[in-house]
Amino acid sequence: MKKYGLTIHPDKSKMAEFSPKSKSKSSTLDFLGFTHYWTKSRKGSWVIKRKTKRKSSTRIMKSIYDTCRQNRHMKIQVQHIKLCQKLRGIYQYFAVRCNSKFLASVYRQARLSWFKWLNRRSQRKSYTWEGFKAILKIFPLPVPRIIHQNV
């Protein structure tokens, strides 16, 4: 850091013990939108796993909901494009090993929100689940998959 003339702000930074046997109240660490935590692997050794930070998770779910709400008046093709862009961006950043539960919940939230806001476009219900599944066959949402294995 000295090479580039950078310093650490003393009020914003701190050294924390992060080990599997730490005596601190919490053995987790929040960094870059992830909660890092220690757990045992299948073979019995200690490993660090990552999951999406709760605050980030709430913000992402709300942004998916708001995207569907704000674009409900547009054509289905345009809604599909915007929702897919949002989902791909989320998947690109949060698709790390051990975070598949969060990715599945994002996918589920996107489907539920899109279904809800498509049905709010008129005074009557526009689609049933069967009708919505037919739309998803024509306009499929990107399915989450783990992209970053060794992070």
Residue 78 lies in a domain: yes
Residue 15 is predicted with a pLDDT of 72
How far is the CA of 135 from the CAs of 18, 108, 115, 141, in angstroms?
48, 16, 10, 10
Global pTM reads: 0.82
pLDDT tens by residue, 19-33: 777 655 567 888 888
Residue 150 is predicted with a pLDDT of 66
Residue 105 lies in a domain: yes
Tokens found for residue 15: 């050294």
- C-alpha–C-alpha distance, residues 73 and 95, integer Å: 31
- C-alpha–C-alpha distance, residues 91 and 144, integer Å: 6
Tokens found for residue 107: 């996918």
Which segment of 4-8, 18-22, 131-135 scores lowest on mean pLDDT?
Answer: 18-22
Residue 6 is predicted with a pLDDT of 84
Q: Residue 140, Cβ neighbours under 10 Å: how many? A: 10
Domain count, the chain: 1
How far is the CA of 32 from the CAs of 24, 74, 99, 111, 128, in angstroms?
21, 34, 14, 27, 39
Residue 151 has pLDDT above 80, yes or no: no
Residue 113 is predicted with a pLDDT of 96
Mean pLDDT of 6-23: 76
Please give the residue range of the domain that contains residue 114. 54-138
Residue 43 lies in a domain: no
Residue 38 has pLDDT above 70, yes or no: yes
Residue 68 is predicted with a pLDDT of 95
Tokens found for residue 27: 């053995």
Residue 22 is predicted with a pLDDT of 61
Residue 18 has pLDDT above 80, yes or no: no
